[in-house]
Structure 1
Amino acid sequence: MKRVQEIVQSMFRMLNSAIAGIYGLMMIFIVICCIFFAHIRYWTLSYSENFLPAIVLLIFGGITICGIVTICKRADRECKIKPIIFWIVVPVMIFLMQIYFVWNYYVYTDWDVASVVGLADKIAHNESTDIYINYFSRYPNNLFLVFVFSKIMEIVHFLGGHAHEYFMLLCVQCAFNTCTGVLLAKIISKLFHNRVLTMVGYSIYFFLIGLSPWVSIPYSDSIALVFPILIMYIYVNREKFKCFSWFAIPFLSYIGYKIKPQTMIVAIAIMLITILNIKLSCIGRGYLKKVAALILGFLLALGISIAAVRSLNIQLDDEKAFGIKHFFMMGMNTQTMGVWAGDDVSYSDSFQTVEERDQADLQKAFERIENMGAVGFSKQMIRKTLTNYNDGTFFWGGEGAFYINVMERNTKISGFLRGLYYNRNYSSVGKYNTVWINFVQMIWLTCLGLGILGVCYKNQKERSVLMLSVIGLTIFELLFEARSRYLYAYVPLYILLAIYGVALLLNRAEKKK
């Protein structure tokens, strides 16, 4: 038995090393694409035209991170920041700042957001929902988000804030955004026991997520932001939470999945790494309790989601639903380079039943792969990689017409914030937009680069989970519809991997002294 255990553990170590190797090669490929292939034709090229060359941004990004590390070291040495200041006062200040900033620049947008918020508004006020039946028959995956938004609107309406229902959705997203930063910092503190690294990670969060305008768009991206990092926080503290952690992980994963399907990837990574590291000699009653907690958490989340959607009382045409095969077909569309395609929507919509549609979509997808050949498929993957990764704004302003109704605010800060964030039809207003997009692109590319160095950091289960999550997310976006916006909810995990790289560099710098 002991010999078998040793062989199994040796295999598991090899698999963990393989995960690190695959992740490292994948991230090197991504960074190389961003450096050397950013000029080729890909879907979001026109949105990236004002970016400085990636190699320049990486150099400046490295200098910026060095500056942040230096400032954080000095603050830790001289200021001795009290825990209550760092963990409570600073997050509250960021939360209030976000609300004030969002109030000064938010807009009403179109695309899927208009349908989700529109239906939630109708339900909250007991109005007819007929105009949304066709959209949600086609995309029923957004119904749970409609339920969440409608309940927030109902509460605000009940409290007499009818005119502010939309803005309160944004306030909730600000709260989720702030919690994301705190959870990220807590994880770094737990993994590294280093205040400097914690402050560095929190600083990167602030620049890349805390100041991101996506918090002003009420949709699944900002609502789902907190789920992967919360799931990761529970996993990192699994010894503290014990059996509850194995209840909470599937519960949160499925609730997150109903908001944003990609949320499930981190839970799958956790389960795989846990299975890979099980010690056969320790399997017993404790593992049975964990399995029971897993099943209970999943079933409870499933029950809540079903009850929530049914409570909306909307009669949909189930045969109009688009399945995952539709998005796989779009991902293989060479004309649109793997992003949303109106012609593909029309093609899928031409079939009367789900079975016919799924079969036709899958056949079309494989036909496209066959027609591409090996070279064409490689080009498609490079283009989709650039669409997914070569945009630190995460496709801000790119969906639909986007700027449908701009709220007028006569404040100086409003003019400045609009100058940073507004683009496209409002490019004349966005005087500083080029500065902002290059700054966040610099931070984003630097995170990706530092994440590669994390491969050389000492092996941890947590690191393997993070790497496997990123591998899974990247494969998901390469196979299905591409969008850099779909990475947004996982940005905290990319920051964690970047901190592994920073930790490695700091450790080596300390050894040289």
Structure 2
Amino acid sequence: MRDTIDMGLARLGVYLTYTVYAIYSVIAVMILFLVSFGYSSLENPYGLRPKYALPMPVFFVVALLFVVLLTYALLKYSCKGGNSYCYVLPLLSVAVLVFQNAVIRYTPYVANWDPDTIFNYAVAAVRGGDLGAFQPYFDMFPNNYGLAVLMQFLVRVSFVLKLDPAMFTASVGALGVNLGCLILALGIGSAIGKACIVYASWIIATILGSLSFWIGTPYTDTFLFPFVATVISLYLIYRNSAAPITYIVLVVMVFSAFVGSLFKPTVLVLVVALVIDCILRYARREGVLKDILCIFLSILVSATLIYGVASPLLKKHLHVNPNPEMAFSYHHYLMMGANPQSYGAFNLNDVKISAGIPDKTDRQAKDLDVALRRLQAMNADSAIHFYAVKLVTTYGDGTFGIGHEGKGFPEVPSERNLPNSLKKLYYMENNTPSVFGSLQQLLWMILLLCAALLLPRKNTDDYAVFLRLSFIGLTCFLMLFETRARYLYSFLPIFVVIFAVSLDRIVLQMNAVLVKRGIVLSGGMGDE
């Protein structure tokens, strides 16, 4: 009887795993197709993306050629490894950090939205200024308490060190992104063990993450980035380690995600993906029950420490006293995510709707009612068009919304001695991204292409199931609630690891086909 139950559970686990494969493939291919061939026709009227100098199909073709050439190079030249990246990448990261600080110094982002509000609050709080003007903001957005307290601390440190507080806070955020890219590369190395793929992954992560114009804006995006990178990297280490290290890694992984949720709760999608992945592995009899118990215990302890202890302490260190009755809940973001005018992007009218209702219960009921009415008003055609535009708005911009967030892109600062090289590198002309912005778009298309080409393994005990679940969860979350290209910036590590795993598997499959036909281009790529 027990054997029959075990066999049934194993079959169910395999079936559900292949269902994850199918759902992931449909979403990834659909995103790639819409971004590549529907970009111009699926325009968001709020203009939350730039006009690229080249048509999107051209970016797709170039990305495809790049992947083909890279695959050929990896097949022709042995890429078995060596761990030189363990020594080289930290040195390169230091060089990148120096350049990051030059970018922060010479290309200030005049952000007349949330980052500016929180930073000005932190400066006023440290200096003992009047904080009354900031009260309404923290009433509405309790999700930024953690960032506000962190900025208070960083501003205080900058005053002690006699440094510019804006540059110092931005530099700390940039350092976190830099470390995140390094941690990510080392995690990829532990899972794949091929130096060339590790280097390629680090270069892409650095160009899209560490050298992004967003590093000049101290906000949740840069501060969350290293936590996402840590969670993803620890998962790769977890799948390549044995007890008791396994349990230590799981605990740190879950705790890192909960700490990151103080900046943005979306990161908890990774915890959900981890739970589902471990349950599927156990159902397939490829995992152990102890792992699941360890994860649930870690969730319980982490949630208690973060939301029961740390969150109240952070609120005590906030120098304003927010009114919980005015706090925007998930109902507000659900309403905004269904807005047919802005296609789920930020909408000021929706903010006015929520802010205009002082009672918390009434506001949540109103927000939910508006959201449901908007969804019910869509027929099949309008719903397909709505979510197609929303997908392209979210996934269509490799610069992650630079110049199309908040109050818009800043003027080239005239009061600073801005080097022409940096001006040409980062600033747009006539709404057309710079050469660097176009490079970012090309690399982003390569990531989307490799995501669509992620091949399953014959052995269902596949660590890429977690990556697929994370991708699915993140996409569903952003399609359900408010979205924008910038929201993907913090989750770049997911796409970079998918790129590395996908490229590795493409090379392995191609190598197997060539060997079967008696064609050997290199010493072989080895096995996973």
Partner of 1:452: 452
- The DSSP-based 3-state class of the residue aligned with 1:315 is coil
Q: 1:80 to 1:11 in 2, by over 3 A?
A: closer
Q: 1:68 to 1:313 in 2, by over 3 A?
A: same
Provide Cα deviations, 1:173-216, integer angstroms capped at 9, x if missing partner: 22111111112211211221211211121122122223211111
Partner of 1:174: 174
Partner of 1:248: 252
Partner of 2:232: 232
User: Are 2:313 and 1:307 equivalent residues in the alignment?
Assistant: yes
Please say if residues 69 and 196 of structure 1, whose CA atoms lie closer than 8 Å, have aligned partners that are also in contact: no
User: Are 2:491 and 1:490 equivalent residues in the alignment?
Assistant: yes
How many residue pairs were aligned?
504
Distance in 2, Cα, partners of 1:386 & 1:254: 29
Please say if residues 270 and 465 of structure 1, whose CA atoms lie closer than 8 Å, have aligned partners that are also in contact: yes
One-letter identity of the residue aligned with 2:179? C
User: Are 2:11 and 1:10 equivalent residues in the alignment?
Assistant: yes
Provide Cα deviations, 1:21-67, integer angstroms capped at 9, x if missing partner: 10100011111111232122324657332342222112212334456
Partner of 2:523: none
Partner of 1:479: 480
Q: 1:81 to 1:467 in 2, by over 3 A?
A: closer
- The DSSP-based 3-state class of the residue aligned with 1:154 is helix
Partner of 1:403: 410
Please say if residues 185 and 198 of structure 1, whose CA atoms lie closer than 8 Å, have aligned partners that are also in contact: yes
TM-score, reference length from structure 1? 0.91
Deviates more, 1:321-330 or 1:47-56: 47-56
Distance in 2, Cα, partners of 1:286 & 1:188: 22
Q: Following superposition of structure 1 onto structure 2, how do residues 151-300 of structure 1 map, counting pairs within 5 Å?
A: 151-161=153-163, 164-238=164-238, 239=241, 241-278=245-282, 288=293, 291-300=296-305
Distance in 1, Cα, partners of 2:37 & 2:74: 33
Distance in 2, Cα, partners of 1:495 & 1:286: 26
Please say if residues 35 and 54 of structure 1, whose CA atoms lie closer than 8 Å, have aligned partners that are also in contact: yes
Please say if residues 328 and 354 of structure 2, whose CA atoms lie closer than 8 Å, have aligned partners that are also in contact: yes
One-letter identity of the residue aligned with 2:445? L
Please say if residues 49 and 393 of structure 2, whose CA atoms lie closer than 8 Å, have aligned partners that are also in contact: no
Distance in 2, Cα, partners of 1:200 & 1:349: 46
One-letter identity of the residue aligned with 1:270? L
Distance in 1, Cα, partners of 2:492 & 2:362: 37
- The Cα shift of 1:160 comes to 2.9
Q: 1:373 to 1:66 in 2, by over 3 A?
A: closer
Partner of 1:97: 99
User: Are 2:422 and 1:417 equivalent residues in the alignment?
Assistant: yes
Please say if residues 169 and 218 of structure 2, whose CA atoms lie closer than 8 Å, have aligned partners that are also in contact: yes
- The Cα shift of 1:460 comes to 4.6
One-letter identity of the residue aligned with 1:57? F
Q: 1:124 to 1:65 in 2, by over 3 A?
A: farther
Please say if residues 177 and 226 of structure 1, whose CA atoms lie closer than 8 Å, have aligned partners that are also in contact: yes
- The DSSP-based 3-state class of the residue aligned with 1:393 is coil
- The DSSP-based 3-state class of the residue aligned with 2:282 is coil
Please say if residues 398 and 437 of structure 2, whose CA atoms lie closer than 8 Å, have aligned partners that are also in contact: yes
Q: 1:165 to 1:19 in 2, by over 3 A?
A: same
Partner of 1:348: 354
Deviates more, 1:459-468 or 1:19-28: 459-468
Distance in 2, Cα, partners of 1:168 & 1:290: 36
- The Cα shift of 1:106 comes to 2.3
- The Cα shift of 1:384 comes to 0.4
Match for residue 325 of structure 1 among 312, 326, 331: 331
Deviates more, 1:459-468 or 1:71-80: 71-80
- The DSSP-based 3-state class of the residue aligned with 1:107 is coil
- The Cα shift of 1:391 comes to 0.8
Q: 1:503 to 1:410 in 2, by over 3 A?
A: same
Please say if residues 322 and 348 of structure 1, whose CA atoms lie closer than 8 Å, have aligned partners that are also in contact: yes
- The Cα shift of 1:134 comes to 0.5
One-letter identity of the residue aligned with 1:245? V
Provide Cα deviations, 1:129-162, integer angstroms capped at 9, x if missing partner: 111000110111111110111111112212333x
One-letter identity of the residue aligned with 2:318? L
Distance in 2, Cα, partners of 1:488 & 1:247: 25
One-letter identity of the residue aligned with 2:422? L
- The Cα shift of 1:218 comes to 0.7
Q: 1:55 to 1:22 in 2, by over 3 A?
A: same
Distance in 1, Cα, partners of 2:171 & 2:314: 22
Q: 1:225 to 1:466 in 2, by over 3 A?
A: same
Deviates more, 1:164-173 or 1:235-244: 235-244
Q: 1:212 to 1:139 in 2, by over 3 A?
A: same
Please say if residues 76 and 195 of structure 1, whose CA atoms lie closer than 8 Å, have aligned partners that are also in contact: no
Q: Which runs of 5+ in 1 are unaligned?
A: none
User: Are 2:457 and 1:470 equivalent residues in the alignment?
Assistant: no
TM-score, reference length from structure 2? 0.88
Partner of 1:369: 375
Which is helix-richer, 1 or 2? 1
Please say if residues 326 and 358 of structure 2, whose CA atoms lie closer than 8 Å, have aligned partners that are also in contact: yes
Please say if residues 258 and 268 of structure 2, whose CA atoms lie closer than 8 Å, have aligned partners that are also in contact: yes
- The Cα shift of 1:20 comes to 1.3
Superposition RMSD in Å: 2.7
Deviates more, 1:250-259 or 1:235-244: 235-244
Distance in 2, Cα, partners of 1:69 & 1:210: 25
- The DSSP-based 3-state class of the residue aligned with 1:7 is helix
Distance in 1, Cα, partners of 2:82 & 2:237: 26
Q: Which runs of 5+ in 2 are unaligned?
A: 515-519, 521-528
